Chains A and B, each alone.
Chain A
């Protein structure tokens, strides 16, 4: 039941997208997200979604993987949609008890939901095509200029690497603890919200205890190998941007420009 979560999961494959410099992918994703929030019309979404679809196609990641990643946010999507439909002012669509559904609400709700779907879909493509190590390498390099301002770029990147690395481990552990508690008659599936929340205690406590234990062990193992932060560390794999990266950046710039123009450049 926890297998649906794909954030932080890497889909190993050989593709032009996988080969891109992680800095490019992070930067492009960032620009993409900004563009997504600049976009104010379905047409702009179509442009962005098309771009995302092209990236997905090139990445050879099965679309099924993306759909699976969307499953956990289905509830949020439905919730957003319903909220908008009933809360917005405008022309009445239908009446449900004291609530009025409006056409404007439907429009807004669909708009926000589409934005969410594109957001999650494309950003999960970043983690699906970039190994956690490459991802944090790229992030570290991108944050490096900020280290003069006192931002601990290396430490942040290391923390992220470790966090990402342990997501699957934690999921596995959660499943194990869950089974052990089920063997003791625990029930995680029935009952009302409160009962269900309470039934999570026997799962969460061991999970936290385990996470702390692991953190301790890892810290010890790192110290035993003389790890002491970012100063003077060299890299085994140097990041190098190639032609494909320039093309990607240019294409993204173009798409972003189109979206910006669609919002402010056309019309009266």
Chain B
């Protein structure tokens, strides 16, 4: 179930002096089972792009196809699209409203017309997917910790059984432990259930760990798109856009500046270790 964007442009407040072109001729394709990261400076159009993926915004120009269906077409059932493409916005815990965790998680599937008999099961499954203990089900979501609230909100989207999960800054404002837990659960969903992932983040470490493909946005355009390690190895260009690189990439770059011949496209500590060892060996055999 691919998502395809062809030449998509979007303008906020069109026809006024405040008009802002948020997306400018973006063409992007997300295939089944991919894990795509999207990075870019603030105001580069990432959040606008995300809102096009499930038809919350309609492109001013261009087309968005989900599973071959054009989202701008009147005949397209947007609710159906939103079932397939689950979007989790920044600080999703701010959208909680029900009396109990279970009711809040059931809100999405209930809107989709899932029969009451199945709702319980959906809620239980979704809670398990994000590692929420079952005894929290009847608690008020407003009594929970920040990390737990966020997981409830994510479970609320997972309960709709989406094929694609789109997350906008999923770990913003969480402590390191909450961050690690949420990422672990998301990764498990990707690997075990084969969910397609689209993650928008300012955190390069998260992107490096979670995604295999990376698109870089700047002023409404996709300016780089490729395998995550390859994109991150273009350190100069990223820095020119005001973006950082994962720490490992930065370390490797410094080593290179000092004259050690190592590759930049490594993302994990283990890969880095092997590459440094290999680099040192190359250096010795050359000397």
- Which A positions have Cβ atoms within 8 angstroms of B? 173, 176-177, 179-187, 201-202, 204-206, 209-210
Contacts and interface: CB of A to CB of B under 8 A. Distances in A.
B86 A183 contact: yes
Contacts, number: 58
A183 B94 contact: no
Given A180-B92, A185-B108, 12 more contacts: A180-B89, A184-B95, A184-B107, A184-B108, A184-B111, A184-B156, A184-B160, A185-B79, A187-B79, A202-B107, A206-B94, A209-B96
B112 A180 contact: no
A181 B156 CA distance: 10
A183 B111 contact: no
B95 A180 contact: yes
A185 B97 contact: no
B89 A183 contact: yes
Contact of A209 (B56, B86, B111, B142): B142
B87 interface: yes
A201 B111 contact: no
A156 B56 CA distance: 40
A185 B94 contact: no
A206 B111 contact: no
Nearest to A199: B111
Interface string B68-87: 00000000000100110011
Closest 7 CB pairs of A and B: A185-B111, A205-B97, A184-B108, A180-B95, A183-B87, A202-B97, A185-B112
B235 interface: no
B56 A187 contact: no
Nearest to A201: B97
Interface SS majority for chain A: helix
A185 B82 contact: yes
A182 B108 contact: no
B23 interface: no
B203 interface: no
B166 to A, nearest CB: 9
Nearest to B162: A183
Interface in B40-56: 51, 54, 56
Contacts of A210: 94
Nearest to A176: B89
Contact of B96 (A179, A182, A185, A206): A206
B157 interface: yes
A181 B112 contact: no
A121 to B, nearest CB: 21
A187 B54 contact: no
Nearest to B108: A184
Contact of B157 (A176, A179, A184): A184
Contacts of A185: 79, 82-83, 108, 111-112, 160
Nearest to B95: A180
Contact of B56 (A177, A183, A202, A206): A183
Contacts of A183: 54, 56, 82, 86-89, 157
A152 B161 CA distance: 55
A179 B56 contact: yes
Interface in B135-177: 142, 156-157, 160
A177 B94 CA distance: 7
Nearest to A184: B108
Contacts of B95: 177, 180-181, 184, 202, 206
A13 to B, nearest CB: 12
A222 B160 CA distance: 42
Contact of B111 (A176, A179, A186, A204): A186
A256 B56 CA distance: 51
Contacts of A186: 107, 111
A179 B54 CA distance: 11
Contacts of B79: 185, 187
Contacts of B160: 184-185
Contacts of B83: 185
B97 A179 contact: no
Contacts of B87: 183
Contacts of B156: 184
B89 A179 contact: yes
Contacts of B92: 180
B20 to A, nearest CB: 15
A201 B89 CA distance: 19
A67 to B, nearest CB: 15
A171 to B, nearest CB: 14
A210 B95 CA distance: 9
